[in-house]
Amino acid sequence: MENKIKGIEEILLMGPGPSLTHPRVYSALSRPTLGHLDPYFIQIMDDIKAMLQKVFQTNNNLTIPMSGTGSAGMETVFVNLIEKGDPVLILVNGAFGKRMLDIAQRLGADADSMDFKWGTPVTTDEVEAQLMKKKYKIVAMVHAETSTGVCNPAEEVGKLVKEHGAFYILDTVTSLGGMEVAVDKWHVDAIYSGTQKCLSCPPGLSPVSFSDRAVDSIMNRKTKVPNWYLDVSMIANYWAGKKRAYHHTAPINMLYGLYEALAVVLEEGLENVYNRHQKMHEKLVDGLEELGIKMVVDKQFRLPMLNSIWIPEGVDDAEGRQALRYDHHIEIGGGLGDFAGKVWRIGLMGNTAREEHVDRLLKALAAITKK
C-alpha cells in the first residue's frame, strides 16, 4: 500500500489557520512520550501554565490548555459558566460570533445577540445601550474575527461589561500570540484560544483562562457542568491541584509542542512578536495595493494576522485558490458566510509572518492575476 503520509509535500500555509509549525515545535513533538502523571511531565505542565499566564497577561491560577482545538475552548468556557435560563448576550459580526450564539442556545441560555455588519467592528455605544436595557449574566465577543479580519474593541467592551457586573467571555483564537491580549487589564473572566495560529503549533490544544470570580461561579453551580470532558471543576485538580488527580489522558506530545511554541514566543518577546506581525501586515497591504487588490476592512479595524481581500476581478474563487495551491504550493482561505465566494482570507500568523513568505505570496498573486 502506498504510504500517503510520506508523500505529503510542504505547503506554505497562509490561510486562516493552521499556520506554519515552528521547527523547534516539530522537534519537541518527536520527544519520547511520558506518562501523564510522570513527575517530569508535571514539571512541564507547571511551566506551560506559567508561560500561558505571561502570554495571556494574567495572574489567573486556572490558566491551562484544554485537550481539543479552539472550538473545544469555546465550548469549555460556555459549558462551565452557563446554566439553563441564564441571560447571555453575544456580540456577532462574523461566523465565530454566530458559533458562540449556537452553543449558548444549545445549553439552554436565554440568549440574545447583537448583529453588526460583516467587515465592521462591534460598536460600543450600541452595546452600552443594550446593557442598560437588560441584566445579563454573560457578555461574549470575538476579539479577532477570523471570518472577516476585523479587530473588535476588546478593552472597551470589557470596561462596559465590568460596569454592569456581567461575566466577560472573549475569543482570542486568532489574536493570541500575534497582538496584545491583556486578560486582567481588560477585565476578561473567561478566555480561550488555539495553538494552530499565532503560536505556530499544530491544532489540538486550546489555552483557556478563568478569573477567580468565574471559578467561584463554576464551583457553586446549581447543576453539574453538562459536559464531563470539559468540566474544569474536575480538570483543575489535574492541572492546578496540590495532589494531581487523573481526569483524562493528556495529549502528552502535543503539550511538548505547546511548551516549545510558548518558549519561542517569549524568547522573541511579546512586543517584538506583535511588531513583526504588524510589519508583515503592512508589507502585504502595500504589495496588494500595487496589484490593484483591495482590502475588505477599513484600515483602523484590520487585524495584522488575518487579512481579508476582495477576490480580484476576473479571477474565479475556487480556480484562483487551486492555482495558488497546486502551481505555487501556497494555501489561502476562502470566504465564509456572508463573504463566501467574494473574499479571500490571507493569514500572517506566527511563523508564517515572515518577509520571504509575503514576497512569495505577492509574486504568486501577480502570476494568477497576470499583473
Q: Please state, as a whole number, how many other Cβ atoms lie within 10 Å of the Cβ of residue 155.
A: 13
Evaluate whether 320 touches 345 at the Cβ level (below 8 Å). no
User: 317: which residues sit within 8 A by CB, 6+ positions away?
Assistant: 311, 334, 335, 341, 342, 344
Res 182 pLDDT > 90: yes
C-alpha to C-alpha distance for 86 and 132, rounded to whole angstroms: 17
Question: What single DSSP character describes residue 134?
Answer: S
Bond preceding residue 207 cis, omega within 30 of 0: no
Predicted confidence band of residue 6 (pLDDT cuts 50, 70, 90): confident
CATH class of 12-18+270-369: alpha beta
pLDDT tens, residue by residue, 66-101: 999 999 999 999 999 999 999 999 999 999 999 999
Mean pLDDT, rounded, for 111-130: 98
pLDDT tens, residue by residue, 147-174: 999 999 999 999 999 999 999 999 999 9
Q: What is the pLDDT of residue 1?
A: 74
pLDDT tens, residue by residue, 64-73: 999 999 999 9
Res 176 pLDDT > 70: yes
Q: Please state, as a whole number, how many other Cβ atoms lie within 10 Å of the Cβ of residue 156.
A: 14
pLDDT tens, residue by residue, 226-266: 999 999 999 999 998 778 888 999 999 999 999 999 999 99
pTM of the shown model: 0.97
Query: Under CATH, what is the fold of the domain 23-266?
Result: Aspartate Aminotransferase; domain 2 (3.40.640)
Q: Please state, as a whole number, how many other Cβ atoms lie within 10 Å of the Cβ of residue 179.
A: 22
Beta bridge partners of 205: 67
Mean pLDDT, rounded, for 320-324: 97
Of 233, 143, 229, 145, the C-alpha closest to 188 is: 143
Question: What single DSSP character describes residue 123?
Answer: P
Question: What single DSSP character describes residue 50?
Answer: H
Predicted confidence band of residue 371 (pLDDT cuts 50, 70, 90): low
Q: How many CA atoms lie within 13 A of 266 on its CB side?
A: 16
Q: What is the pLDDT of residue 246?
A: 87
pLDDT tens, residue by residue, 17-45: 999 999 999 999 999 999 999 999 999 99
The answer to whether domain 12-18+270-369 and domain 23-266 are alike in fold is: no
Segments making up each domain of the chain, as ranges: 12-18+270-369, 23-266
Mean pLDDT, rounded, for 327-348: 97
In degrees to the nearest 10, what's the CA dihedral of 90, 91, 94, 97? -30
Q: Considering the chain, what percentage of its residues have pLDDT values greater than 70?
A: 100
